[in-house]
A and B are shown apart, each in its own frame.
Chain A
Amino acid sequence: AQSVSQHNHHVILSEAASLELGCNYSYGGTVNLFWYVQYPGQHLQLLLKYFSGDPLVKGIKGFEAEFIKSKFSFNLRKPSVQWSDTAEYFCAVSSNSGNTPLVFGKGTRLSVIA
């Protein structure tokens, strides 16, 4: 079964700082990878996804993520965070082999301070 590990539980950054949130998954086969974001009081929204092709994927609001197959990683990055990026971020993985559910990491809370 797949599992997802997010290394940082809470990250605090100043505005304009660069962001990198770690995500590692455990699964031997081909996977689909996702980052979701949950802003305060709002529902979970898809930030970006990777299925195949270019391992560097770009999402909404200036976020990007890089799939490194050899490291089983899918880290989320943003060059310059804004106060409005304050939210909880979830990495998720599903198997490409069939009917398996989407498995989420425990999430990373990002607080951006002025």
Chain B
Amino acid sequence: KAGVTQTPRYLIKTRGQQVTLSCSPISGHRSVSWYQQTPGQGLQFLFEYFSETQRNKGNFPGRFSGRQFSNSRSEMNVSTLELGDSALYLCASSYREVYNSPLHFGNGTRLTVT
């Protein structure tokens, strides 16, 4: 089974721009979660989508948004980029029908804002 695929792997953007990151979950997984990983802060939860609906949202400003398509693929968007948005953005998928189903992570997209 193919794992979680995130594209692109690396992105360099300038302040004020916007960016869209993509995630393809493991086949059969209908839940996709997004996390921001920064040194010293660990993984901070952004949002979770299940069957095209946002199920949970973390404590991030409205500049961070996401969506999920009918094939379970997900995108997240960050508008008006700030220097502090530089991070590794991780996507994870799971069988959310099973509430304690472990998350399977992708390799992440490393975003650098200059």
Contacts from A to B (Cβ < 8 Å): 6, 9, 32, 34, 36, 42-46, 49, 51, 90, 94, 96, 98-107
With an 8 A cutoff between CB atoms, is B48 at the interface?
yes
A104 vs B46: C-alpha distance when bound (angstroms): 12
* Chain B residue at minimal CB-CB distance from A94: B100
* Chain A residue at minimal CB-CB distance from B94: A102
Top-7 shortest CB links A-B: A106-B42, A104-B43, A44-B105, A32-B100, A101-B56, A101-B45, A43-B105
* Contact between chains at A99 and B42 (CB < 8 Å): no
* Contact between chains at A43 and B108 (CB < 8 Å): yes
* Contact between chains at A96 and B100 (CB < 8 Å): yes
A32 vs B100: C-alpha distance when bound (angstroms): 7
With an 8 A cutoff between CB atoms, is B65 at the interface?
no
* Contact between chains at A99 and B99 (CB < 8 Å): yes
Residues from chain A with a CB closer than 8 A to the CB of B103 are 44, 46, 102
A9 vs B3: C-alpha distance when bound (angstroms): 29
With an 8 A cutoff between CB atoms, is B33 at the interface?
yes
* Contact between chains at A105 and B55 (CB < 8 Å): no
CB distance from B3 to the nearest CB of A (A): 8
Among B29-60, those with CB < 8 Å from A are 33, 35, 40-45, 48, 55-56, 58
A58 vs B60: C-alpha distance when bound (angstroms): 35
With an 8 A cutoff between CB atoms, is B16 at the interface?
no
With an 8 A cutoff between CB atoms, is B26 at the interface?
no
A61 vs B55: C-alpha distance when bound (angstroms): 34
* Contact between chains at B58 and A43 (CB < 8 Å): no
Given A46-B103, A99-B56, 11 additional A-B pairs, CB 8 A: A42-B107, A43-B105, A43-B107, A46-B104, A99-B96, A99-B99, A100-B56, A101-B48, A103-B45, A105-B42, A107-B43
CB distance from A88 to the nearest CB of B (A): 9
